[in-house]
Amino acid sequence: MFCLFPHTVAPEASCRLLSLIAPAVQYLQVLEPDEPGTCAGEFLTPFAVVPEADEIQRVRQLLLEYRRIGELHEDPALMQVVVRDMVAQDFSESRFGIQARLRGKSETVPEDALIPRREAALFLELARDLDRRELEMGRSLAQAEKLEREFKEILGVTDSEELSEVVETEAPPLSPDWGHFAHQLSRRMACWWRLFSGHQPAVDPVYLAIIREVMEELVDLVRTVRDREGVDWNPVELELVRLPALDALTHEQMNELHQGLERAGILSAFHHALPALLAGPEDAACRDQARRAARALEDQVRAGLGTPGGSHPPAARVMLTWLPGVTWRDIWQRLDRPGHAALCPSTPETGSGLTLLHLESV
């Protein structure tokens, strides 16, 4: 099982790359899944973590109330207190709770396990809204950059290096800032695991991250604990594959690329070699097999783009990081003691390790 972590939405370029790496990538669905026309709706599969209709409605009410209060109060610290109070009291003092009492319905305080899950669901939905707005802004800025380049070509100034430098100095090119994906990263992880813990599959997932900071956050957390314990601990990190940018392709061209890779047996060979590497990242034979499959995938993708022989430079690479001797429950406990205590009170078991794949620019 491959899961997008800890985000619930991703740029289309990342979705396309991830669709080549893993046979099926899932993302946590809190309320509604992404529409089929979106990149996540096309390349990713939703994994519902709030399946109860009543609970979905409750989270939706919390979101509405939060946004209503947010229009009046912009202080983030105040809003955090308000959210915790809203969730803990089950919305009894909100307009929804008042309406329920007027109808003769009783508003009960939720069980202890529901409170941290509702907090997590609310936070992840707010983070998803932020990410989607930022992605839309990024698409608008990319379109503005395209228009700027076309305008320079019309003026005939694209070949003038000196003039280009002056223009860039006075008006730097517009480009989307992806830094927001790392905003509140620890809390994103904690909330992700709060919801995932109630619907975890029999086999631990392989985590897929769209930014390197996710890996760095996990490694730093585990290393701090091991250093405090006086234990020598080193993660395993290796490059899995390098791929060119795919965002310029139309949806039809992307589908054709997928189909071509499947007909050639390239995708199946890579997907066959990947599980062995994930199970034994330190095994030299598994590394060699995965590297050969990755090379074939890289060459075939470049050929599918019409740029064989390496003329198309790689835009991103997929890195594999293995954190030996820890489980996701162990890391979750370090990140989120209150949530872990309420939702997973048993002592975390010792595991062979946690595996993470992440994207990063080349």
Residue (of 93, 95, 96, 90) closest to 108 by Cα position: 90
Burial of 331 (0-12, 13-18, 19+ CB in 10 A): buried
Structure token digits, residue 221:
């957390």
CB atoms within 10 A of CB 341: 12
Long-range contacts, stretch 155-163, CB < 8 angstroms, 24+ apart: none
Residue (of 131, 170, 177) closest to 10 by Cα position: 131
Average pLDDT over residues 152-159: 70
Confidence band of 361 (pLDDT split at 50, 70, 90): confident
CB atoms within 10 A of CB 153: 11
Distance CA 149, CA 132 (A): 26
pLDDT, one tens digit per residue, over 241-289 is 999 888 888 888 888 998 999 999 999 999 999 999 998 888 999 999 9
Q: Residue 324 has what DSSP assignment? A: E
Distance CA 182, CA 140 (A): 21
Q: What is the DSSP annotation of 154-176?
A: HHT-TT-HHHHHHHHHHSPPP--
Q: What is the DSSP annotation of 219-280?
A: HHHHHHHHHHHT-----EEEEEEEE---TTS-HHHHHHHHHHHHHTTHHHHHHHHHHHHHH-
Of 54-68, 79-93, 287-301, 330-344, minimum mean pLDDT range: 79-93
Q: In what order do the strands lie in the sheet with 206-209?
A: 45-48, 25-29, 2-4, 206-209, 353-361, 316-324, 236-243
Distance CA 124, CA 191 (A): 7
CB 214 within 8 A of CB 190: no
CB 286 within 8 A of CB 280: yes
Of 22-31, 211-220, 323-332, minimum mean pLDDT range: 22-31
Maximum C-alpha span of the chain: 75
CB atoms within 10 A of CB 51: 10
Average pLDDT over residues 20-26: 86
Confidence band of 172 (pLDDT split at 50, 70, 90): very low
Radius of gyration (Cα) for the chain, nearest Å?
23
Q: Among all chains, which residue has been given the structure tokens 């022989």?
A: 309
Distance CA 198, CA 196 (A): 5
Sign of the CA dihedral running 280, 282, 286, 287? positive
Distance CA 207, CA 4 (A): 6
Q: What is the DSSP annotation of 47-99?
A: EES---HHHHHHHHHHHHHHHHHHHH---HHHHHHHHHHHHHTTTTTSHHHHH
Average pLDDT over residues 162-184: 52
Confidence band of 192 (pLDDT split at 50, 70, 90): very high
pLDDT, one tens digit per residue, over 36-88 is 555 556 678 888 888 888 888 888 888 888 777 766 665 554 445 545 554 55
Q: Which residue has the higher pLDDT, 28 or 307?
A: 28
How many whole angstroms from its chain centre is CA 314?
A: 21
User: Residue 109's pLDDT is what?
Assistant: 41
User: Residue 162's pLDDT is what?
Assistant: 45
CB 309 within 8 A of CB 279: no
Q: Which residue has the higher pLDDT, 18 or 86?
A: 18
Q: What is the pTM of this model?
A: 0.80
